[in-house]
Amino acid sequence: MNLFWNVLINKKMAEKIKLGIIGCSNIAKKSVLPAIQSSKNAEISIIGSRSIDKSKFYSKLFSCKEFGTYEDVLDSKEIDAVYISLPVGLQKEWVSKAAKLGKHIICEKSATDSFQSAEEIISVCKENGVRLMEGFMFRFHPQQKKVQDIINQHQLGNLFSFHGEYGFPMPLDNDIRLNHKLGGGVLNDAGCYPVCASRILFGDEPLQASCHLFENEKYSVDLKFNGVLTYSNNRIASMHVGYDMYFQSTYSLWGEKGKLHLSRAYNVPPKNKTLITLETNQTSQIEIDANDHFKIMIETFCSELQGNKISDYNFEDDLLNQARTMEALRISHKEQRVVYISDIT
């Protein structure tokens, strides 16, 4: 364990981590703030928005006494960490500002819109001794652990392919996801999920990336994404993601001994059970109890800050590796070629 970790673990923190909220987004309102409220080791201390009326409304909604601007959140002496939920193109600025003031950070995915930005925010976080997690909540759902157990038990044998699909109806015209200047587009917004899932399930980083983005002239953003990632040992990940589509949130794994399918892989409502279909010599279905993966994510982050439990992956390394793969996909589309991940430095 290096000095960076020792400093964090030795720092005394309260029973509950006090969180400041930067950005009153729909995902914050619907999923993250309720998860913080119900968590065992976190609480909402102050809520910030560009609009005081909106931060006031959210503060009443979530029984938080303090509200204000983004700056007010960072100026608060009470908070230990921040949850940042802003358009992708704005998050680098506020992650950096939070880090320089000694605030630990959970940042909505995709945390950045470039590999260079990812390097810069990780650097400033380490310089200021704070932790940074990219908010891929799906990885914390118990169904993911069950899938990993199936892989580790070699029930699928040697893995050959991952296939992921994620799509949903078209956002409204004024949605930030359709704003090019704010880092909009389906790759940053939703394509990042199957990219991340393939990395987790293969337990490895890809070697090559190939990507085609279907861009829309009206919005100047990508509305659909097809991608292929090549891994070592002849493994391959394919993914199809899009707006203006029939809803899908799935992935499947195919190996020499069997196949596995998740019907709701990325965005599971907290009251919904999930189902894993496993095909080997016979087909079986494994039901997973309802769980709030946002809550588990929050508690995992806070437990690590408190030194109570170290996560099974390094937040910053994972963010950087994810950003490297995403950058390779962008370059592949732009230059219409296969990109080697090792070239992204």
Residue 261 pLDDT > 90: yes
The arithmetic mean of pLDDT across residues 230-247, rounded, is: 98
The domain defined by 142-290+324-343 folds into Dihydrodipicolinate Reductase; domain 2 (3.30.360)
Residue 232 pLDDT > 80: yes
Residue 242 pLDDT > 50: yes
Cα separation, 114 vs 187, whole angstroms: 12
The arithmetic mean of pLDDT across residues 311-337, rounded, is: 98
Q: Determine the pLDDT at residue 12.
A: 52
Secondary structure of residue 317 in the 3-state scheme: helix
Q: Determine the pLDDT at residue 7.
A: 43
Residue 316 pLDDT > 90: yes
The arithmetic mean of pLDDT across residues 184-200, rounded, is: 98
For residue 149, give every residue at least 6 positions away whose Cβ sits within 8 Å of its Cβ, in sequence order, or none.
none
The arithmetic mean of pLDDT across residues 46-63, rounded, is: 97
Q: What is the pLDDT of residues 62-120, one digit of tens each?
A: 999 999 999 999 999 999 999 999 999 999 999 999 999 999 999 999 999 999 999 99
In this structure, which long-range contacts are made by residues 288-294, counting pairs with CB atoms below 8 Å and at least 24 apart in sequence? 288/141, 288/142, 288/143, 288/146, 289/142, 291/141, 291/142, 292/35, 292/38, 293/137, 293/138, 293/139, 293/140, 293/141, 293/268, 294/31, 294/32, 294/34, 294/35, 294/137, 294/270
Residue 10 pLDDT > 50: no
Residue 5 pLDDT > 70: no
The reported pTM is 0.95
313 vs 14, residue with greater confidence? 313
Where are the CATH 3.30.360.10 domain residues in the chain? 142-290+324-343
Q: Determine the pLDDT at residue 15.
A: 87
Q: Are 76 and 45 in contact (CB under 8 A)?
A: yes
Cα separation, 335 vs 327, whole angstroms: 12
Residue 344 pLDDT > 70: yes
**Stretch (H or E) spanning 223:** strand 221-231
Q: Determine the pLDDT at residue 258.
A: 98
The CATH architecture that domain 3-136 belongs to is: 3-Layer(aba) Sandwich (3.40)
Return mean pLDDT, the chain.
95
Phi, psi of 133, rounded to the nearest 5 degrees = -115, 135
Q: Determine the pLDDT at residue 286.
A: 98
Where are the CATH 3.40.50.720 domain residues in the chain? 3-136
Residue 185 pLDDT > 80: yes
Q: Determine the pLDDT at residue 13.
A: 66
The arithmetic mean of pLDDT across residues 316-331, rounded, is: 98
pLDDT band at 195 (very low <50, low <70, confident <90, very high): very high
Q: What is the pLDDT of residues 279-293, one digit of tens each?
A: 999 999 999 999 999
